[in-house]
Amino acid sequence: MRDPVFIEFFDDVERSIPRAECAALVDWLNTAPIETLRMRQNAAEQAFRQLGITFAVYGDEDARERIIPFDIIPRLFSAAEWARLEQGLDQRVRAINAFLNDIYGEQRIIKAGIIPHDLVFSNPQYRSELVGMRPPHDIWAHIAGIDMVRTGADGFSVLEDNVRTPSGVSYMLENREAMIRLCPELFRQMRVATVDGYPDLLHAMMRISAPPAARDNPVCVILTPGQYNSAYYEHSFLADSIGIELVEAADLLVEDDKVWMRSITGLVQVDVIYRRIDDDYLDPEVFRPDSMLGVPGLMRAFRAGNVTLVNAPGTGIADDKAIYSYMPEIVSFYSGSEALLPIVQTWRCREPDACQYVLDHIEDLVVKLVDGSGGYGMLIGPLATKAECAQFRAAIRAQPEKYIAQPTLALSAVPTLTDAGIAPRHVDFRPFVLSSPDGVAMVPGGLTRVALKQGSLVVNSSQGGGTKDTFVLMRDEGIA
């Protein structure tokens, strides 16, 4: 028996009693004519198209450039809810960095028997090349996108950690721009915390994360695979907002274990690289030799301590879905206290009992590939056909260690503008958490993704999901 879906904004399933912090928003929703909302939504999408805020879907030739649908109705967190999330995220991201330092260093957590030895060492995301390596300031995951779901008024849990090259932050910023322009009255009716400090925060993080030997004014760049990458808009948007160069591999070269970029006046040394290229492609000397996207010698420069890579290579082990299931233990091991953010109950098919349970109950579960992403390689039991279930059962039996399973969650839903009027749609939430020698920082907000199809739980943009602005209230006082 599944739990009833929590409809955000409301205290009851009939959607008649707004929650205190959402009263103004619900009032706005009840009084704004639906045609007006539609008109504004179209205007926003028009503007996104004009700005070229597009993304590409791999394997979709016709729609090389699509915009992600934008929903004009924001979702909202109270100041108290945000404060709780912030605390939990801070704790979790510190633990992730401690974990990465440990497994590429002393490996205390393995020696303590908390995480099985082979789960780490035979994991393709574990980069043995990096053992003994210490990145500048011992920070590996400078930028983390933590995917959260809500199942009740107080029920927030982490669905997934993204600590390789999480994307989507440009949508957080552009969605807010659109909301301010199109629905200015909302910002008069409530005090919404601003998110536009993100680029400054990101830049400050990069500068202070420069190698200790770097000059006073470190040169920071963003490294993109190029304009045909699905997230290219975001790469250029961020470089633009910060005022730093957006470079491609061909713009960089390594000499004397230092990284340089080719400029119209000659070579300029680079100290910090926010790279939006996967580990595998980063340096053909060390990883995939056929990579055209990478910079030969980059890892030499990194090892020599001459450049900071944001994020460091090798972080993928920390967001592996099998490791995920140990996150509560990981957090308490390094922080010494209970994890503030729970995870979703997870069966690891590598364990025979759990595997049997998954095989027996696959119709009720969500099954995921441990190294899958973007909603690919996933089975949603309750929505799957018998044939699909059988296919996954066979795959799990063949390679149990590659799968985990989770209960089908009753993801919260938020009123959304649909063709048939305003109706609840399932959402998730990805805040972006920055780590530097100065500590952990984040802006109050994040990316809310919404599954636009009725009943759908898949919010990924590659699978027809959209986005919403996320309001975090500055203060809760005055709210009855």
Partner 1 sequence: MMLSRTAASLYWLGRYAERADFSARLIEATVRLDALSTRPAGSAAWASALNVIDAGEAFAALGKHVEQRHVAPFLLCSPDHPGSIWRCLEAARTNARAVRMALSRESWSAINNAWLRVSTGGVPKDGAGLLALLEGVHSSALSLTGAIERMLKHPSSMFMRLGGAIERVDNTARLLDVKYHILLPEEEVVGGVLDRDQWTTILQTVSAVNAYRFLYSGGLNARNVIEFLVLRPELPRSLIAGAQEALEQLQHIAEVTHNFSAADSLAMTRLAVLRRLKVDAIIGEGLHEYLEDFIEQNAALDQAISTQFRFF
Stretch that binds partner 1, among 24-32, 219-227, 366-374, 406-414 (CB under 8 A): 219-227
How many Cα atoms are found within 13 Å in the side-chain-facing hemisphere of 35? 0
Q: Which CB sits closer to partner 1, 235 or 449?
A: 235
Stretch that binds partner 1, among 3-11, 134-142, 225-233, 387-395 (CB under 8 A): 225-233
Can residue 233 be called a binding residue for partner 1 (CB under 8 A)?
yes
Please, which residues bridge with residue 415 across strands?
Answer: 424
Q: Which of 129, 245, 280, 285 forms a contact with partner 1 (CB under 8 A)?
A: 245
Tell me the residue ranges of DSSP E strands in 151-194. 156-162
- For partner 1 (CB under 8 A), the number of binding residues is 25
Please, which residues bridge with residue 407 across strands?
Answer: 365
Q: Which two tokens stand for residue 416?
A: 């959304």
Can residue 251 be called a binding residue for partner 1 (CB under 8 A)?
yes
C-alpha closest to that of 145 among 426, 462, 456, 428: 428
Task: List, in order, residues 6 or more apart from 183 with CB less than 8 Å away.
Answer: 28, 40, 72
Task: List, in order, residues 6 or more apart from 221 with CB less than 8 Å away.
Answer: 239, 244, 245, 246, 247, 261, 270, 272, 273, 274
Q: Cβ of residue 245: shortest distance to partner 1, in angstroms?
A: 6
Sign of the C-alpha dihedral, residues 48, 52, 56, 60? positive
| Contacts (CB under 8 A) with partner 1, residues 13-52 | 49-52
Q: Which CB sits closer to partner 1, 30 or 265?
A: 265
SS3 212: coil
Can residue 247 be called a binding residue for partner 1 (CB under 8 A)?
yes
Q: Cβ of residue 270: shortest distance to partner 1, in angstroms?
A: 11
Cβ burial of 466 (10 Å; 0-12, 13-18, 19+) is buried
Q: CB–CB of 114/326 below 8 Å? A: yes
Stretch that binds partner 1, among 2-10, 75-83, 239-247, 450-458 (CB under 8 A): 239-247
**Helix (H) / strand (E) containing 98:** helix 79-103
Q: Which of 205, 231, 239, 441 forms a contact with partner 1 (CB under 8 A)?
A: 239
Q: Which CB sits closer to partner 1, 32 or 261?
A: 261
Q: Which CB sits closer to partner 1, 104 or 233?
A: 233
Residue with tokens 């440009």: 170
Q: Which two tokens stand for residue 274?
A: 């926010």
Q: Which CB sits closer to partner 1, 56 or 440?
A: 56
C-alpha closest to that of 92 among 149, 38, 157, 150: 157
Can residue 237 be called a binding residue for partner 1 (CB under 8 A)?
yes
Stretch that binds partner 1, among 7-15, 146-154, 247-255, 278-286 (CB under 8 A): 247-255
Q: Cβ of residue 45: shortest distance to partner 1, in angstroms?
A: 14
Can residue 232 be called a binding residue for partner 1 (CB under 8 A)?
yes
Q: Which of 42, 227, 345, 391 forms a contact with partner 1 (CB under 8 A)?
A: 227
Q: Which CB sits closer to partner 1, 130 or 246?
A: 246
Find the angle CA(125)-CA(219)-CA(103) to the nearest 5 degrees: 25
| Contacts (CB under 8 A) with partner 1, residues 256-315 | 261-265, 268
How would DSSP label each residue in 128-142? GGGTT---GGG-S-S
Q: Which residues in this chain contact partner 1 in the complex, by CB under 8 A?
A: 49-52, 219, 226-227, 232-233, 236-237, 239-240, 245-248, 250-251, 261-265, 268
